[in-house]
Amino acid sequence: MTSRSAAFLRAETAAGRVTAKETVKTAIARAQEVGADRDGLNVFVWRDDEDARAQASTIEDRLADTQPGALLGVPVAIKDNIATLTMPTTCGSRILEGYVSPYEATVVKRLRAAGAIPFGKTNMDEFAMGSSTEHSAYGPTKNPISPDRVPGGSSGGSAVAVASGIVPIALGSETGGSVRQPAAFCGIVGVKPTYGRVSRFGLVAFASSLDQVGVFGATVDDAARGLGAIAGHDPMDSTSADIKVPQYHASSNADVKDLVVGLPKEYFPASLDPEIRRLCDAAVDRLRGLGATVKEVSLPHTDLAIPVYYIVAPAEASSNLARFDGVRYGFRLEGDGLRGMYEATRSTGFGPEVTRRILLGTYVLSAGYYDAYYRKAQQVRTLIADDFRRVFDSGVHVLFTPTAPSTAFPIGAISDPYEMYLSDIFTATANLAGVPAMSLPIGRVGGLPVGGQFLASHFDEARMFTAAYALERALGAEAHA
């Protein structure tokens, strides 16, 4: 499947040379071959091969359409916090075990309309809280490149579905780096769109002012096509922006001669792993070689991103997760009276990290602490957003940085939650500022993938893709060596 890109599959399907049924059969066989099951890489929380086959057979009826769908016959894996009608949506949590949504997320509806075939619900850190996909109620997902290591997270299952060649495209979600960081750890492409670019309707809310659906692709083109299919205004999401979506997969136009690339010095600290720095330097040299102008810039409030993120995100999570109370959804455990039922349900249904975030979030929002923590964090968040605005206003088109401070770490290696939170030092800023960002492979260290990150101004994904296409092409096989 890895050699079969979304563009190839769509063209072959539209021309009648490949049937969607054959493609689904190949994906199922590939999942078996790589050991995607619970006792193997543990990629999926739910897969219904019969249903995937049935959906594939409906694609044949569309071949006569004048406009074949943009993802006609392309299987797409979906993170388990995105609502689907035909499969359960559990957010990797016991509290939603077996829960089937009565409605479907806009992004899934758009995938179906584009002719894509939803292929399984992927494993994730519970409620998307985490950076390793070790903290799912359904067990950890493993990195296909080195199965004793994590795939990154929280969208680890979706990253592995693409990295192991089961599907060319997968949907994930981003609150602080959950698509870009696992993309970096697994050697694939991961995109977080501008806040408001993609509908959140049907994405189970974690931190609503940060959350966006993101896309994984085996290549920049696959990811661009995936985003193109789901982006655009949705009246069902009041934060969705009514801004025209350009064609992202104009891959032939990867001219970066007039591009100004900023290197924010805060993302290249003295403590940066020297091997990761070396690969970033080599990537920047390539961009220079293609004619791009490269200059150092500064985003002075970068080091405040993690403290701010870990106040804002838990605050919103504590409010959003109040709905899982044993009455409205899925799991319930009886206790002494109503209050006892709430306590029993929530203390058993939520795992330790989710519980920690709810406690932290409730605390920073409580009377007497709100001003000291939550309000202050929101003020600093504005400073972080202003940093980006200033740099982009000064004529810089895109920023280039490392995606993560390390390569994939061994499963079980990070037990301190704070150390885990630091995985997102280079990614959480984009969510706080709302700007688009993406990770693409730029080489390997000790056999493990390293990602480079491009960030752009609000709604300027097209320029970000142009830079990424150019770099991907210039690096060629080096990106995976």
**Measured distance CA(289)–CA(167) in Å, rounded:** 33
Six-digit token pair at 416?
């301190």
Six-digit token pair at 104?
């479907």
> Which C-beta is closer to ligand GLN: that of 215 or that of 313?
313
Min dist CB 313 to ligand GLN, Å, is: 5
Min dist CB 174 to ligand GLN, Å, is: 5
> Which C-beta is closer to ligand GLN: that of 34 or that of 91?
91
**Measured distance CA(46)–CA(429) in Å, rounded:** 32
Instruction: Establish whether 79 is a catalytic residue.
Output: yes
Q: How large is the angle between the packed helices 20-34 and 6-14, nearest 10 degrees?
A: 150
Min dist CB 481 to ligand GLN, Å, is: 28
Q: What are the contacts of 320-323 at 24+ separation with CB within 8 A?
A: 320/205, 320/206, 320/207, 320/208, 321/127, 321/350, 321/354, 321/358
Q: Find the catalytic residue in 21, 79, 109, 121.
A: 79
**Measured distance CA(179)–CA(182) in Å, rounded:** 6
> Which C-beta is closer to ligand GLN: that of 83 or that of 283?
83
Min dist CB 322 to ligand GLN, Å, is: 18
- Among positions 121-180, residues that touch ligand GLN (CB under 6 A) are 128-131, 154, 173-178
Q: Find the catalytic residue in 136, 146, 154, 240.
A: 154
Min dist CB 66 to ligand GLN, Å, is: 39
> Which C-beta is closer to ligand GLN: that of 309 or that of 469?
309
Q: Binding to ligand GLN by residue 28, rule CB under 6 A?
A: no
| Secondary structure class of 198 (helix, strand, coil) | strand
Q: How many residues bind ligand GLN (CB under 6 A)?
A: 14
Tell me the torsion sign for CA atoms 99, 103, 106, 112.
positive
> Which C-beta is closer to ligand GLN: that of 23 or that of 194?
194
> Which C-beta is closer to ligand GLN: that of 155 or that of 345?
155
- Among positions 60-119, residues that touch ligand GLN (CB under 6 A) are none
Min dist CB 317 to ligand GLN, Å, is: 8
Instruction: Establish whether 154 is a catalytic residue.
Output: yes
**Measured distance CA(269)–CA(282) in Å, rounded:** 17
Tell me the torsion sign for CA atoms 115, 120, 123, 126.
positive
**Measured distance CA(194)–CA(214) in Å, rounded:** 10
Q: Find the catalytic residue in 155, 158, 164, 178.
A: 178
**Placement of tokens 């920023």 in the chain:** 399
For residues 299 and 429, is the Cβ–Cβ distance under 8 A? yes
- Among positions 303-322, residues that touch ligand GLN (CB under 6 A) are 313
> Which C-beta is closer to ligand GLN: that of 131 or that of 453?
131
Instruction: Provide the pairing of β-strand 448-456 with 398-402.
Output: antiparallel
Asked if residue 154 has a cis previous peptide bond (ω within 30° of 0), the answer is yes
- Among positions 402-431, residues that touch ligand GLN (CB under 6 A) are 424
Min dist CB 204 to ligand GLN, Å, is: 11
For residues 384 and 302, is the Cβ–Cβ distance under 8 A? yes
Cα→Cα distances 131→13, 119, 223, 378, Å:
36, 23, 21, 23
Residues labelled as active-site residues: 79, 154, 178
Return residues touching ligand GLN (CB under 6 A).
128-131, 154, 173-178, 206, 313, 424
